[in-house]
């Protein structure tokens, strides 16, 4: 193996030396394959055994809906303000980048909270409010996000069911400087289009309602305020998933970067020669104030039904579980390191053999399950 390994063991974790960028292709160009189960279920059990009071943190957060409505109204106001401004002006671009992209990222992540039924008690109310929240995005998104995101939680790392994972072809063609620049710039397209090529979900009346409502809103808005105003929504959505500080969370959450990047392990008789690296990373910086604490990502995956307002409390209660975990200190830094550090590639994700190979049927997933 090209890279040396420190075998210093501490509390069942290992520290590795990052493999050099000129390591052989069979080391660098592959995912982190594992037969191990994802770590969040086990950590959740351990935390609940030690701190049963954590159960009291679960449940919806009713005040969130008012914050979400404020963000939606802000986007509508700025779009109206720009109705006579050319999209090719700096004024239009900077308003779309600073206000629009930040607001639409918050809207994307509000829909994320809604996908876990964390704004209202009844799941149907969360679905309907997500459709309303969707309007500044410009395209119907909320109804499809929920089932795909729940698959991401329930089958994290599954090569067929977790559509957050890059595909083999993305790894082949985009694991170079220009490819990573393109991927980081156009992340929103990969997250929007990749799922339909990987896993099919059932089309429901909620999807139809999402599409019809968004199309009606878009047409009315264009008729009343013109195309320039509507382009603000689309540009905001694109920039929200592009080279924007808040967009760093897309890569920061599950990519194995920098010192956490180890030589890719090989399976020998069903066992890993090298332990799997951590596959979820938290961020505790100030951008959490703009993104519903999505940076508390280990905490969120451990307890998906704890609302954003209570995730810091969870970390405080179970600090000995979370403090030792590797974390990200800067989402802006993540974008920079991902693009310009040669060892950071699209291959740097943990994958598991797909459930489809064992006859799993996607229809068994209950998207209303709490």
Picking from 94, 105, 145, the residue whose alpha carbon sits closest to that of residue 242 is: 105
Residues 6+ apart with CB under 8 A from 53: 317
Long-range contacts of 338-343 (CB under 8 A, 24+ apart): 338/180, 338/184, 338/251, 338/255, 338/257, 339/177, 339/180, 339/181, 339/184, 340/177, 341/257, 341/258, 342/21, 343/18, 343/19, 343/20, 343/21, 343/28, 343/258, 343/261
pLDDT of 182:
98
Q: What are phi and psi of 276, to 5 degrees?
A: -70, 135
Strand partners of residue 282? 327
CB 263 within 8 A of CB 26: no
Q: Is 278 exposed, middle or buried (0-12, 13-18, 19+ CB in 10 A)?
A: middle
Q: Is 82 exposed, middle or buried (0-12, 13-18, 19+ CB in 10 A)?
A: buried
pLDDT of 304:
96
CB 101 within 8 A of CB 246: yes
Domain extent listing, the chain: 9-354
CB 142 within 8 A of CB 72: no
For 256-297, write each residue's pLDDT tens digit: 998 887 666 554 445 555 567 899 999 999 999 999 999 999
Q: What are phi and psi of 24, to 5 degrees?
A: -65, 155
Find the length of the chain. Answer: 370
Residues of the chain with pLDDT under 50: 1-27, 267-269, 357-370
Picking from 38, 257, 255, 49, the residue whose alpha carbon sits closest to that of residue 153 is: 38
Q: How far is CA 265 from CA 30, 89, 334, in A?
A: 9, 50, 24
pLDDT of 260:
83
CA–CA separation, 257 vs 337, rounded Å? 8
Torsion sign over Cα 238, 242, 245, 249: positive
Picking from 314, 250, 306, the residue whose alpha carbon sits closest to that of residue 64 is: 306
To 10 degrees, what angle do helices 123-133 and 142-154 make? Answer: 120
């Amino acid at each position: 193996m090209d890279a040396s390994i420190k075998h210093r063991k501490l509390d069942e974790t290992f520290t590795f030396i990052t493999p050099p960028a000129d390591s052989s292709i069979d080391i660098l160009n592959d995912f982190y394959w594992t037969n191990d189960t994802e770590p969040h279920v086990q950590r959740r059990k351990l935390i609940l055994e030690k701190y049963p009071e954590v159960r009291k943190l679960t449940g919806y957060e009713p005040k969130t809906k008012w914050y979400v409505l404020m963000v939606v109204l802000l986007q509508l106001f700025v779009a109206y303000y720009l109705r006579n401004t050319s999209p090719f002006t700096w004024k239009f671009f900077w308003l779309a980048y600073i206000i629009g992209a930040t607001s639409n990222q918050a809207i994307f992540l509000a829909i994320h909270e809604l996908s876990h039924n964390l704004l209202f008690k009844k799941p149907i109310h969360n679905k309907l409010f997500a459709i309303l929240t969707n309007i500044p995005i410009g395209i119907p998104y909320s109804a499809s996000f929920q089932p795909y995101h729940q698959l991401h939680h329930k089958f994290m790392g599954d090569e067929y069911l977790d559509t957050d994972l890059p595909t083999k072809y993305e790894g082949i063609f985009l694991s170079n400087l220009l490819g990573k620049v393109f991927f980081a710039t156009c992340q929103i397209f990969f997250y929007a289009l990749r799922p339909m090529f990987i896993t099919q979900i059932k089309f429901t009346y909620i999807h139809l309602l999402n599409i019809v409502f968004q199309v009606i809103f878009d047409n009315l808005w264009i008729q009343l305020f013109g195309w320039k105003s509507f382009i603000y929504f689309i540009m905001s959505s694109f920039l929200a998933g592009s080279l924007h500080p808040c967009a760093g969370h897309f890569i920061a959450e599950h990519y194995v970067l920098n010192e956490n990047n180890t030589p890719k392990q090989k399976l020998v008789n069903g066992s890993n020669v090298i332990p799997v690296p951590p596959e979820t990373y938290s961020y505790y910086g100030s951008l959490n104030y703009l993104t519903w604490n999505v940076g508390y990502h280990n905490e969120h995956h451990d307890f998906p039904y704890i609302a954003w307002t209570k995730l810091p409390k969870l970390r405080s209660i179970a600090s000995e579980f979370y403090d030792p975990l590797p974390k990200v200190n800067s989402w802006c830094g993540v974008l920079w390191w991902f693009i310009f550090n040669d060892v950071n590639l699209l291959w740097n994700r943990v994958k598991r053999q797909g459930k489809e190979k064992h006859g799993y049927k996607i229809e068994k997933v209950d998207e209303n399950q709490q």
